[in-house]
Amino acid sequence: MGGMEAMELRQFLSGLDLTSRRILVLTYTEGLNETEIGLVLDMPAQRVRESLNRLRHQAKQAVSFSFGAHASVSGGMVAV
């Protein structure tokens, strides 16, 4: 990921609420699954799954908006 993409992704992350950031950290840094995250955050696994789907879509939109249609989010990684 280039400097511009990283900057856009950091900007996207900084605009998230605490729960959304925690879900992403627990997923991609700690490697927890939806059920485990639900236990940590005291929320149903389905809500975690829905949040992850929404966050992935939002990240894709944030990066695609700045860098055109070639950007994609797959498994939480942003590729351009």
Mean pLDDT along residues 56-69: 74
With a cut of 70, say whether residue 31 has pLDDT above it: yes
19 in helix, strand or coil?
Answer: helix
Residue bearing the bigger pLDDT, 6 or 42: 42
Q: How far from the centroid of its chain's Cα atoms is residue 42's Cα?
A: 19
Supply 31's token pair: 């490697």
- 3-class SS shares of the chain: helix, strand, coil, % to 5: 70, 10, 25
pTM: 0.72
Supply 68's token pair: 């055109």
With a cut of 50, say whether residue 46 has pLDDT above it: yes
pLDDT value at residue 65: 64
CATH assignment of 3-79, given 3.30.300.30, 1.10.10.10, 3.10.20.30, 3.90.1170.50? 1.10.10.10
pLDDT value at residue 45: 98
